[in-house]
Amino acid sequence: MDSANVRPVRDEEIEMVVELCAMHAAYEKSEYDKTGKASKLRCAIFNPSPSLFCFVVEQNGGVAGYATVTKEFSTWDAAYYLHMDCLYLLERTRGSGLGSLLMKKLKEFAALHSCTHIQWQTPVDNFSGIQFYEKQGAVSKDKKRFYLH
């Protein structure tokens, strides 16, 4: 792996995050509309009480991927946890250890913010992602995800 660094996203990188979100959606065979996303992400990330935390992995001077988390509260655990909304790497960088670096940063961030664990979901047909998460020591639970509009 070439030198890599995981750090909070910078304002000037939000447009790149929007592009990575579009690639992520395509990878998961989902629709994605980029309209207005950059300004909404800026509002969520760069304010005194952020509702979203975004980390990028930088390699060779460019952004190679990102992960986003929110701090949530578990009634059952009576404790805070992180919900990882997204983790995505450019296809050419997968398998090079960058995902593990992102996960390590998220674990550090969780500990720093007194979060007991990290939760997330991935499509059932994301076999490489599932294999990656299992190598990280993650345990899965079968559940159905619901949406209401």
Q: What is the pLDDT of residue 147?
A: 79
pLDDT top residue among 53 and 133: 53
Domain extents for the chain? Answer: 4-135
Average pLDDT, the chain: 93
User: Per DSSP, what are the bridge partners of residue 115?
Assistant: 80
Backbone angles phi, psi at 126, to 5 degrees: -85, 70
SS3 state at 149 = coil
Please state the pTM of the whole predicted model.
0.91
SS (H, E, C) 51-86: CCEEEEEEECCEEEEEEEEEEEEECCCCEEEEEEEE
Per the listing, tokens 């992995």 go with 57
CA 100 to CA 110: how far, in whole Å? 15
Q: Which of 124, 130, 92, 85 is nearest to 106 (CA)?
A: 85
Q: 66-70, 79-83, 141-145 — which is least confidently predicted?
A: 141-145
- Would the pLDDT of 2 be above 70? no
Distance of alpha carbon 48 from alpha carbon 40, whole angstroms: 15
pLDDT, tens digit, for every residue of 85-132?
A: 999 999 999 989 999 999 999 999 999 999 999 998 888 888 888 787
Q: Pick from 119, 10, 125, 16: which is nearest to 65 by CA?
A: 16
Say which CATH topology domain 4-135 has.
Aminopeptidase (3.40.630)
Q: What 3-state class would DSSP assign to 124?
A: coil
